[in-house]
């Protein structure tokens, strides 16, 4: 297969937006789409190699997997080793244990499944997970477990229909992705069935499914259109876009047009310049190493990055990638590219087993890598608050608080059960409402306090979000209230600027129905996970540096909402003023409980304190 310099350059176009996006250049909202470009490139190259060798009668499954081991394993396992060592040196126990688990998932190429269950890619807390980016390796390697077998079978028995088979697989995956992006966006982002179409698109190019263009102007225009599509994806795709389907069509079709028609074109020549080719050559190591470097830096200093910090992290990532490329990737490729498949696969199996064993050792001994004071350990334990009995008692997850990973739907009969002998109050909103429900119920035992909450679900008319969210809010603000379901409403959420006008409209709507309404303002938030921030600060300076990591945006939103609710004449609870009187924030709630168990959610003690001071 002829080496294509333009594809090396296209790899640079894929990795650079990822690097800049992860280093804090959020103005380029679609920077994460570089992974989708990589998928198309990979599908094209691998399918080209498989079909060429099958046509020549030289294809071997063992040789195919040998090449994957030689290409993928060395830099990956060096990265995993370095990340585990850094975790043991710099992380707290509550951080080390998840790191070990994610390293095991990455070593076994199932980290996409692990992070589907444990992390929203776009959540602030995800910025502190050093191996989050390995989800894409999981997708790709899972694809290549099954894909060569499918191509082999179709080529052997239905050779004329190979393009059709790949096309139907690609189309089926795309349709599945369209549906899953609506009902389960986290699963759609991470899992192979909704990503396979991107690799399949590259495969279609390799088997000649893209037609030969008869006119020179069209051959010139096609890769230019591809470049425009990629640029549009970088500019217009956002974290809340339906993804990967349909929005990933922009970068994927763009990459496909460049691969199919770019060789020798103006776009192809531009991509073939030496600086881009060099970045493309180191792109695999750059992808592996940039995220741990950035994540560990943020872990120690805070999630937000200054322009100078971002520039230094980009430079450090490129330098580390160059070292990995020249000292790890290239020597292994030169030495073992043509080595015996059996021995190399055996070494790969040993490396995989060693990676799993090392990850297990790190996880099991998470509490033992460094020494901590008993108080620091106690504080850190609150980072594991989710899943405890108290958390379940407070939030009622998978029943009255529904998340994207919930196994069951919202239980209307249980959570919205009226009591005709009492005043019925419904607490409506997202997780920032769910944290208050139990506290409100305990403060007002003479009232029937109902709970209607779903993660990421602001309680307003015209709310946006997943179906589980919109269905719940529309039901409560519609049929439920229309039928006299509640005598009063408490609205709480992680309010955003886009919610303000809808919130005002919702308050006016409830007032028009003569339903008393109380609005709880945004919670104090921190630039990281609060128990870990607090424990680390206590170990370093007694805790004083915690205040430096308080985010300013929620305070500004609180002031804006307070003024608007005052103008509407409805009670407003400023959580900011309760937790931070005179702008000096409490770090502990009654019982010496950390005020937050993550970036901003409260454990029960803190929620009860806030509600005890609130005008509800």
Mean pLDDT of 512-524: 96
Q: What integer pLDDT is reported at residue 260 of this predicted model? A: 95
Q: Are strands 488-492 and 401-402 parallel, antiparallel or unpaired?
A: unpaired
List the end-to-end C-alpha distance of the chain, in Å, as a whole number: 71
**Averaged pLDDT for residues 564-587:** 95
Q: What share of the chain is helix, strand, coil (3-state, %, to 5)?
A: 65, 5, 30
What pLDDT does residue 160 have? 84
CA distance to 38, 219, 224, per residue, from 266 (Å)? 21, 10, 8
- 544 pLDDT higher than 80: no
CA dist list (Å): 22 to 29, 360, 529, 530: 11, 28, 18, 22
Q: How confident is the model over 377-416, as pLDDT tens digits?
A: 899 899 889 999 999 999 999 999 998 778 888 999 999 9
Distance CA 239, CA 243 (A): 8
How many angstroms separate the CA atoms of 223 and 138, rounded?
Answer: 30
Output the six-digit token pair for 161.
């229909």
User: What gap in Å lies between CA 526 and CA 598, rounded to an integer?
Assistant: 8
224 touches 267 (CB < 8 A): yes
Residue 163 near residue 3, CB atoms below 8 Å:
no
Kindly indicate the confidence band of residue 200, based on its pLDDT and cuts at 50, 70 and 90: very high
The full set of domain ranges for the chain reads 5-208+232-364, 380-613
Question: Residue 407's Cα: distance from chain center in Å?
Answer: 20
Question: Pairing between strand 424-429 and 488-492?
Answer: parallel
Locate 233 and state its tokens: 């994806």
What confidence score (pLDDT) does residue 591 get? 94
Confidence (pLDDT) at 541: 64
Average pLDDT over residues 343-372: 90
In degrees rounded to 5, what are phi and psi of residue 612? -65, -25
Tokens 């504080």 — which residue? 379
Q: Report which of 407, 477, 405, 401 is spatially closest to residue 432, judged by C-alpha positions.
A: 401
Q: What letter would DSSP give residue 581? A: G
pLDDT of residue 114: 95
Least confident piece of the model among 189-198, 398-407, 480-489, 563-572: 398-407
Q: Would you give the DSSP letter of residue 338?
A: T
Q: Is residue 321 within 8 Å of 289, Cβ to Cβ?
A: yes
Residue 464 pLDDT greater than 90, yes or no: no
DSSP H/E element including 518: strand 517-520
Angle at 213 between CA 209 and CA 217, to 5 degrees: 150
- Tell me what pLDDT residue 159 has: 77
The H or E element that residue 23 is part of is: none
Distance CA 276, CA 273 (A): 6
Q: What three-state secondary structure class fits 483?
A: coil
In Å, how far from its chain's centre is CA 561? 29
Highest averaged pLDDT of the listed ranges 157-171, 210-224, 412-426: 412-426
Residue 3: asked if its preceding bond is cis (omega within 30°), the reply is: no
- Residue 589's DSSP bridge partners are 593
Token pair of 362 as six digits: 């790190």
Buried b (16+ CB within 10 A) or exposed e, 252-278: bbbbbbbbbbbbebebbeebbeeebbb
CA distance 287 to 291: 7
pLDDT at 405: 76
Q: What is the mean pLDDT of residues 151-161?
A: 85
Q: What's the gap between Cα 258 and its chain centre?
A: 28
Share the mean pLDDT of the chain: 93
**Statement: residue 496 has pLDDT above 80:** yes
Which tokens sit at 220?
């010139």
pLDDT band at 15 (very low <50, low <70, confident <90, very high): very high
Q: CB-based burial of residue 232 (10 Å sphere; 0-12 exposed, 13-18 middle, 19+ buried)?
A: middle
Query: Region 439-461: what's the mean pLDDT?
Result: 95
Beta-carbon neighbour count of residue 96 at 10 Å? Answer: 23
Q: How many CB atoms lie within 10 A of CB 514?
A: 7
Q: Which of 113, 248, 246 is nearest to 190 (CA)?
A: 113
Q: Report which of 451, 112, 132, 105 is spatially closest to residue 290, judged by C-alpha positions.
A: 132
Q: In 10 A of CB 156, how many CB atoms? A: 9
Main-chain phi, psi angles of 416, to 5 degrees: -120, 35
249 within 8 A of 226, measured Cβ to Cβ: no
Contact 237, 250 (CB under 8 A): yes
Contact call for residues 550 and 543 (beta carbons, < 8 A): no
Instruction: Determine the Cα–Cα distance for residues 204 and 196; give it in Å rounded to an integer.
Output: 12
User: Taking the complete model, does pTM exceed 0.85, yes or no?
Assistant: no
- Work out the average pLDDT over 284-298: 96
In the numeric block, which tokens belong to residue 33?
Answer: 């789409």
Class for the domain spanning 380-613: alpha beta
Looking at residue 243, the DSSP 8-state letter turns out to be: T
Q: What is the mean pLDDT of residues 429-452?
A: 97
The pLDDT of residue 155 is: 84
- Joined together, the tokens standing for residue 264 give 């020798």
Given this model, what pLDDT does residue 1 score? 58
pLDDT at residue 122 is higher than 90:
no
Residue 124 has pLDDT above 80, yes or no: no
**In sequence order, what are the residues at sequence separation of 6 or more whose Cβ sits closer than 8 angstroms to the Cβ of residue 566?**
572
Beta-carbon contacts of residue 534 (< 8 Å; ≥ 6 apart): 379, 543, 546, 587, 594
Place of tokens 């200054």: 306
pLDDT at 608 over 90: yes
């Amino acid at each position: 297969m002829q080496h294509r310099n333009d594809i090396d350059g296209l790899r640079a176009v894929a990795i650079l937006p990822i690097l800049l996006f992860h280093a804090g250049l959020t103005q380029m909202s679609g920077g994460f789409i570089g992974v989708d470009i990589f998928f198309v490139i990979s599908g094209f190259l691998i399918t080209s190699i498989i079909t060429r060798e099958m046509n020549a009668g030289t294809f071997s499954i063992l040789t195919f997997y040998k090449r994957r081991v030689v290409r993928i394993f060395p830099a990956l396992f060096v990265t995993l080793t370095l990340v585990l060592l850094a975790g043991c040196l710099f992380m707290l126990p509550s951080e080390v244990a998840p790191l070990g688990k994610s390293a095991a998932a990455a070593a076994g190429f199932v980290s996409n499944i692990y992070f589907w269950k444990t992390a929203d890619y776009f959540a602030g807390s995800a910025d502190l997970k050093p191996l989050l980016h390995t989800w894409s390796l999981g997708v790709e390697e899972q694809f290549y477990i099954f894909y060569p077998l499918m191509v082999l079978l179709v080529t052997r028995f239905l050779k004329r229909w190979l393009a059709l088979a790949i096309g139907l697989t690609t189309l089926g995956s795309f349709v599945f992705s369209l549906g899953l992006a609506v009902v389960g966006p986290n699963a759609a982002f991470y899992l192979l069935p909704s990503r396979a179409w991107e690799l399949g698109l590259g495969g279609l190019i390799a088997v000649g499914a893209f037609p030969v263009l008869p006119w020179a102007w069209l051959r010139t225009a096609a890769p230019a259109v591809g470049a425009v599509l990629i640029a549009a994806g970088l500019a217009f795709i956002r974290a809340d876009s339906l993804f990967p389907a349909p929005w990933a069509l922009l970068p994927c079709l763009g990459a496909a047009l460049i691969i199919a028609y770019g060789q020798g074109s103006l776009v192809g020549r531009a991509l073939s310049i030496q600086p881009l080719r060099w970045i493309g050559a180191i792109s695999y190591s750059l992808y592996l190493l940039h995220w741990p470097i950035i994540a560990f830096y943020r872990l120690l200093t805070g999630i937000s990055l200054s322009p100078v910090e971002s520039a230094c992290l980009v430079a450090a990532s490129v330098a580390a990638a160059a070292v990995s490329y020249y000292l790890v990737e290239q020597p292994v490729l030169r030495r073992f590219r043509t080595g015996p498949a059996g021995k190399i696969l055996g070494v790969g199996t040993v490396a995989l087993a060693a990676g799993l064993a090392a990850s297990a050792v790190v996880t099991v001994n998470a509490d033992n890598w460094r020494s901590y004071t008993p108080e620091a350990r106690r504080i850190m334990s609150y980072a594991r608050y989710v899943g405890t009995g108290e958390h379940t008692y407070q939030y009622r997850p998978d029943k009255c608080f529904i998340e994207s990973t919930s196994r069951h739907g919202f239980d209307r009969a249980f959570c919205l059960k009226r009591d005709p002998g009492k005043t019925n109050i419904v607490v409506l909103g997202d997780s920032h409402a769910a944290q208050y429900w139990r506290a409100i119920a305990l403060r007002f035992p003479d009232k029937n306090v109902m709970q209607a909450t779903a993660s990421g679900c602001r309680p307003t008319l015209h709310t946006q979000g997943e179906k589980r969210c919109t269905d719940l809010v529309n039901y409560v603000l519609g049929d439920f209230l229309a039928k006299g379901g509640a005598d009063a409403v408490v609205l709480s959420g992680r309010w955003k600027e886009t919610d303000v006008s809808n919130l005002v409209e919702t308050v006016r709507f409830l007032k028009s129905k003569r339903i008393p309404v109380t609005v709880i303002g945004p919670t104090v938030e921190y630039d990281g996970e609060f128990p870990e921030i607090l424990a680390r600060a206590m170990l370093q300076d007694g805790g004083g540096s915690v205040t430096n990591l308080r985010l300013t945006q929620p305070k500004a939103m609180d002031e804006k909402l307070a003024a608007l609710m005052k103008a509407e004449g409805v009670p407003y609870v400023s959580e900011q003023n309760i937790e931070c009187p005179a702008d000096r924030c409490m770090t502990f709630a009654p019982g010496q409980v950390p005020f937050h168990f993550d970036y901003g959610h409260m454990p029960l003690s803190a929620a009860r304190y806030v509600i005890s001071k609130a005008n509800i």
